[in-house]
Amino acid sequence: MDFLKVTDLNKSYGNKTILKNIELDCKTGETIGIFGRNGTGKSTLLKLIFGTVKADSIQIGINSEIINQKKIISSKKIGYLPQDTFLPKERKVREIIPLFYPNGDDQDKIFYSPQVSSFEKIKVGKLSLGQLRYLELLIIGNLNHKFLMLDEPFSMIEPIYKDVIKNLLLELKKSKGIILTDHYYNDVLEITDKNFVLKDADKIEIMDKNDLVKYEYLRSNE
Q: Where are the domains of the chain?
A: 3-214
pLDDT of residue 219: 86
- 58-97 residue pLDDT tens: 999 999 899 999 999 999 999 999 999 999 999 999 999 9
Residue 8 pLDDT grade (very low, low, confident, very high; cuts 50, 70, 90): very high
Residue-level pLDDT at 221? 58
Query: What residues contact residue 120 under an 8 Å CB cut-off, 6+ apart?
Result: 92, 93, 94, 111
Q: How many CB atoms lie within 10 A of CB 208?
A: 10
Provide mean pLDDT across the span 90-113: 94
Torsion of CA 218, 176, 44, 42, to 10 degrees: 0
pLDDT at residue number 127: 97
Across 129-141, average pLDDT: 97
Give 49-72 as a 3 state SS string: HHCCCCCCEEEEEECCEEECHHHH
Q: What is the pLDDT of residue 176?
A: 98
Per DSSP bridges, beta strands 3-13 and 16-27 are: antiparallel
CA 201-9-218 angle, 5° bins = 30
Q: Say what the pLDDT of residue 124 is.
A: 97
For residue 222, the model assigns a pLDDT of: 64
pLDDT at 220 over 80: no
CATH architecture for segment(s) 3-214:
3-Layer(aba) Sandwich (3.40)
Q: Bridge-partner residues for 32, per DSSP?
A: 179, 194
Spatial distance between the Cα atoms of 103 and 111, rounded to a whole number of angstroms? 12
β pairing state of 78-81 and 147-151: parallel
Q: Average the pLDDT over 26-42 and give the result.
A: 96
Alpha-carbon gap, residue 30 to 63, rounded angstroms: 15
Q: DSSP 3-state helix, strand, coil percentages of the chain (rounded to 5)?
A: 35, 30, 35
Across 194-200, average pLDDT: 97
Q: How confident is the model at residue 105 (pLDDT cuts 50, 70, 90)?
A: confident
Q: What is the tens place of the pLDDT at every residue in 145-190?
A: 999 999 999 999 999 999 999 999 999 999 999 999 999 999 999 9
Backbone angles phi and psi of 77, in degrees to 5: -100, -20
Q: Give the span between the Cα atoms of 28 and 127, in whole angstroms.
A: 31
> Rounded to whole angstroms, how far apart are CA atoms 217 and 79?
27
